[in-house]
Each structure stands twice: as C-alpha cells, then as structure tokens.
Structure 1
Amino acid sequence: MTFKDLGLSPALVKAVEEKGYTKPSPIQEKAIPHILEGKDILASAQTGTGKTAGFTLPVLQHLAETKHPKYRPLRALVLTPTRELAAQVYDNVREYSKYVNIKSAVVFGGVNAKPQIATLRSGVDILVATPGRLLDLHSQKAVSFNRIDVLILDEADRMLDMGFARDLNKLISFMPAKRQNLMFSATFSADIKKLASGILNNPVSVEAEPQNSTAKKVTHKVYQVDKGKKTEFTIKLIKDGNWSQVLIFTRTKHGANKLTEKLIKAGISAAAIHGNKSQGARTKALRNFKENTIKALVATDIAARGLDIPLLPHVINFELPNVPEDYVHRIGRTGRAGAAGEAISLVCSEETEYQSEIEKLLKEKLNSTVVEGFEPTDTAAPKRAATQSKGSFGKKKRPTNGGASQGDRPKKKPHFKGNKPAGATSGRGRTGAPKKKRF
C-alpha cells in the first residue's frame, strides 16, 4: 500500500515522500480513504503513529479540490489542547501543503494577538488553534466559522482533561450543522464517547493499536528510590549513561523548576517547560532540546502529548502521574515511528499505588529494581491525590492539570449539555435542519 493507492493527489504524495515517508502507517491507511469519502471519523491510535498526517492529508486534498477561485474563507479547523501541539500540527500542515494552493495559520495564547488577527483577516483556508485563544478572536470578530466544512479535534481526551468542554460547546455552536467531523485521540474514555455522540454523525471507528498501548520498542524500567534521593539518582543516570538527550516529567511546575536548577548545578544543561513559562521561553527550551543544545528537558504533563522529538532515547518519570493514562502519553515521546526508546520511572513508597494502576491499565507487570545507595527508606503510605475520589479504579476523578496555562485552558470543567442538534448532519453535500444546540 502506498499513499497514491489511498487516493491522494500527486502534489500531496510528492510532499509526503519529500519528508521521507513512502508507506502509510496503519492509522493513515485506515482513516484516509474514509475521510476522502466525507465520512465522520472516530479514530484511536497510539501516539507517534502518524495521526496528524492521517487527517491533514485528506483534508488538504478536499480544500484544494473545492477551493473558490476568488474567496478564501476559513473552511477547516483543527483544535488542539496545547500550544506546542498546535505549533507542531501547523508545521505539518505547511509541509504537506507546499505543492497545493492552500493557506494555513496557527493561533494560540501567550503571544500577541494582533499579528494573528491580521493573518486571519487576510484569508485562511485551514486554521490550527487552541480553544481559548480562538474564542477570544471570535469575540473580536477576527474569525468566522460560517463556512467550516471540516472540524478536527486532535487529542480530544486531553482537551476534556484540561477543562475545554465549555469552550468546545461554544465554538461548535457557531459552526454550520452540515460539516464533516474528525475526532482523533490516543485513548477514548466514557467522556470522550459521550463527546463523540454529540458531534459525530454515523462515524466510522478506526483503531490502529489497542487503547492505552505503548510502543513495542519501548523498554520499561522501574527503580524503587527513596523520595529524597530522586534528584541524586537522576543525575547519576544521566552522567553514568553519558546521555545526550532525556525528557523528564514532574507532577508540578514548582517541581520542574526545582529539578532543573539542581541539574544545572550538577553540570547538566537543562531547561523547564510548563504553563507558567512564557510562550517564548517554552519555544526556546523545546528548540534547544531538539537541537541538543541542552541535555535535559524537565516538563509537566503539558509536554506529555504532541511533542514530536525525533529519536528521543530516554524518558524519565521523576514522579509517576496520578492518572495512569498519562503514563502512556508521557512515554509515548520515545519509541516513536518504530525507533527504540527507554522509559524509566522513579518510584517512592507514596507512589506504589500509582504503579499498580499503571500496570493494570497496561496489563503488564513493571519489574522494579533497587540500586545500592538509593534504597527506599521512607515509610509514607501510598496516597492518592487530594483531587481524586476513593472510588474503584477507572472511576477516580482526574486531577487538575498542572501544565496548562492561561490562554490554553479555562478555569472550570463543566459537564456536557444535551445531545446533537435535531436533524443535524455531517459530511459534504448533505442536508439537515441547521438548528443548533450544545452537546
């Protein structure tokens, strides 16, 4: 199977091949033909398997084939949960559309809105955006959704985790009822299925990998480490292994800053990335990390999805996430596109319950090792985050995400409202009552 066999135009095939891809990934092979046919899609695929190209390529083809010779209204909208993911998707859109006459743009918070407004008013075919900034721009009448043909929700489950349900409600209420809807995500919870039922119309479900699976070439290692010795052990791992690139996850912004400072004092070049950092600082830190100017990037879960770091060899969970699904997304930064990777977790006594929940999710036992000199001596009992209830596994409430910042996330996470508008349809060329309700 080739990209040409999927029905893509020569211009798009040429752009894809120039990026070094000749054979579509499983999710691309399954999703692209259905999207080209105008069907709604509910797609689940392991992170790093090419979801972005899976929706970008067929949408670009539709836009190129149906483009008006004079007017350039916004016709395709990609919503993402974080600025970093929005920037990455936009880069892919630009690369894949280099041989077609399609104009694209990206908007997100944390930067001056005036250049974004100017770009939108000059005409854009496809827009990549975070919900918060997009709503602000819509309220300023800088963007119209009246001509939207295709709506794409990328990392939809993460958007709900970050409290974007209300913003999604508002944005969708401004769009035509007749449109194609594509929902891509690494996992699908009950909330995601409820969201999908309110947006998608007779969707085709595609799944390239089992839900919550991890890359086959990722090696899992767990070290039982005393809580007070985690920093020292992390420094030992990096120096003894002579690592040149490692992504380290902490649960809090303060913890990320503190660890970064100690790494630098130990002679390891490092930077932190989280929601309290300016967009300029976040962009610089990520660029330096990709270019190997710094060895360690310390991040909160804002970096757990969407960051495409080619051939990243090591990920360290300095602290285990208290939502087990986030473990999958964190370690998904390594072992991408078939490459090998190593996922290391440092577990103190307080986190043993988190480890058990992760193992239950993965259906895999993570063998633990104790290293001489770093033996766990703390005796604190396992504890759940204060924001989670004590219900059975799988029913706990997700904690407030520590990585999102103003402009990326609303303050509250509201419940869903109602169902799909009566008579609403999706797919190009269909008809239906355009009465709007919030899902």
Structure 2
Amino acid sequence: MKELLVLVCLLISTHAKQNDLTGLSFGCGNVTLSCSPDMLLVVERVSYIHGTECEEEEKEKKEEKGEGKDVNQLDLTYKNYIDAAQSVHREYRDTSKQYNHVPTLEELHGLHEPVHEPPLISELVSEDSVDVWDAVLSKCSGYEKGNCPFNIGTQLPHFSSRGRLEVQYTCAEDVYSYCGGQIQSGSGGYLSSPGYPKYYLGGRSCLWNITGGEGQRIEVTLLDTSLRTEDCIEIQVGRRTEARECGRLAEIKRVISTGNFIQIRTIISESSQQILSRRGILLRYKTIGCSAPAPIADGRISMFNGSFAEFTCDQGHVFKSSLATVKTVQCRGNVWSESLEHCISIDFLLQYGGEDVKNALTFTHSHLTQPDIERSGEWKVEVVGTTLVGVLLLVSLSIGVLLYCKYSESGSYHLQDDQLSLKEVESGFPEPKHERY
C-alpha cells in the first residue's frame, strides 16, 4: 500500500512539473501546497476522512515512541455502547422465546443504564470537514510565498484523531483583483476582492459584469468568502439572484448562467474603517461552450448550437482542405476543433491548384454535378412525353371531327333520295309499261 502511494505521489509530482497550474497534495494530516512565488495559490477542494489507515499509522508511531496504545475515546465509548446493548439484547432474547417476541434495542434502554451515547458520526465528519476546509483556506489560500505547509495537529489541536487529508489547488497566474469592472470571460479566470487574502475594503461595494461570447454560458464558483456577518456577496443571472452568501462561506457554491452574461456584487455595510480584517472573497469563472464563429467568405453558417457548427459554401465553391461544400466543427472546451476556413472558387483551384487537387476536384465535382445531369435528363423526357401526348390528343380530335363531318354528309344524301321518291309517288308518275313478248 505504501509503495502504491509513493508511486502515485511521483506521478502527481511529474504532472505538476509539466503543468504548474494544478496540483494535488494528500497525507495523514500533513500536506504541502507548492506554487511559484509569483503565482497565487488557490485552494479548490479540501477532503478530510476519519477512520482511515492514518489512525493506524498514528498508533504505530506512538507505540514506537513508547507512548503506549492510542485509543480514540469516541470510538471506544461507541464500541462499549454497542457491545453492551447487543449483549443485553441476546440475554433478553434467550429468556423471552416463550413470549414469541424479540425486543428492539430501543426497548432495552430502560433495562440497563445506557452508556453516554456518542453524536452521529456523519455530523462529526461534516463539522470536522468544514473546520479543516476553513483552516486550509486561512493558512494557504492566496499564498504567494511558494510552499505552504499545513499540519492538522498544529492548526487544529483540538482534533482527537487523525484522518486522510486531500487538498486540490491551482497556481493562478492572473487574478482580477479590482473593485468592480467589465470582464470578458475568454476561457475563464479568477476574481478576488482587493486586498485578498489579507483584508478587504470597508464601506465600499463592488460590482463586476462578466460577459462571454454569443452562444456561451458563464459558470461562477465561490471558493472563499470571509466577510463580516453583515457583509454579503450576490450572484445575479438576469434579474434573478441565484446565490447570496454573508459572512463565512460554509460550502462551495456554483452558479451557471442561462446566457452569456452574469453579474456579481458585494454588499458592504457602512463602516468608518477603510480596511477590514477578513480575507474577502475569491471565486473562479469560466465559459461553457464555444462562441458563435465569425462569418466565412463565399459561404454561410447553416447551423450553430454552441457544441457544433456547420458551414456551407456558396455554389461553385468548396473548402480547400476537404474539397467539400459542407464542413462541421465541434466545440472542445472553449475552442472549436478546427480553425476558421473560408470557401474558395472551384475554377480558381482548377486553374492554379496542384495536380492532386485538380484530379480530386474533377472527380468530386463530376460526382457533385451528376445528379443535376440526371435531373436535367428526366426533365427533358418529361417535356417530350407531355408534347407527344398533346400531339396524339390533337390527332385523335382531328380524326373524330373528320368522321363526324363525313357521317353528317352521307346522312343528308340519303334523306334527299327519300324525299324525291315520295314526291314522285304523290304526283302520279305513270307506271312503267311492261312489254309483251
């Protein structure tokens, strides 16, 4: 186990050398936070856990020094209480089988004098963690002298036991420490009240406006608030107050805006003192997502949602890197996965591009235009077919008209013959003479 911890420490140290902006230090009550003297040490997270191998290590050290076994009184009291209660529970259960009832531990409280009941372990851990966190902030947050050693035994001597302490921190190069102002978030940064961590200004409120790019959101994390009880800090999103902390910060608070703007203000009560003996405030801000990309030449942004952006070239233009008319980029952190690229004319590439570009472009362009040719052929076939159908209809109509006319004339001739015959009969034409032989 110890060898593994040593290996992890070496890996963390190596990472710290490569990137001097972040660090993690852990140990049994003793940690050392290291930053360059010209950088501000910012405590990001503090974790303290009771009942770990650190207690065994503490016990072994005391035994080696001849101080005897070190037994935690709280654990011993709690163990005695449980052992006594369970023992009585077993005795009562053995003597009450005939009643078919097994009493609970609560029912046994009146049978024996209970040992002093310890407080809830979760409450102890929570309270201790807050105390350790505040002690680490008081000792190391805002430190500008290089290494900051922290020892629980020295800073918190009332602790009866030792636990595993982990501190995550950042070495910040630039911290905005003016009383108010307009801040462009960029990729993010840190903001503190003037004088942090030695003091903060009395009788003077500060207002900061943090703005991101179009389509971005702002995340603000309160890392340290050490003010008088009547002094406060507020974080506003639009017209709504999302967080308000007065006095000492009990836990880290995080607020995310709905748009690309967030407002932070301190509310300081009137005071005759110009400097107040508290640390002040320290917070981290950062942007979420990428800002809307700038327009491109001979193309347009066809889609943008903060995580993805799609560009489309105008007709007759392509992206030189891919020779395609559409390009999609992804947001990674706060920057786009690819740099901005403008569209370029296909004719220009065919004339001045290299052979590989010309060959690839000719092949790609032929495939891109093939559907247009097919659509053009289909249109021609449709037009010719429609024309033929029209001609056939006209021919059919002409034939019908001719047949109708012919039929009409033939009918009139037969009607005239019938009328003549009828007139001859009525006028008494002589019957034809029959010759006799």
**TM-score bucket of the superposed structures, by smaller chain:** under 0.3
Larger Rg over CA atoms = 2
Structure scoring higher RCO (CA < 8 A, sep ≥ 6) equals 1
Richer in strand (by share): 2
TM-score (norm 2): 0.25
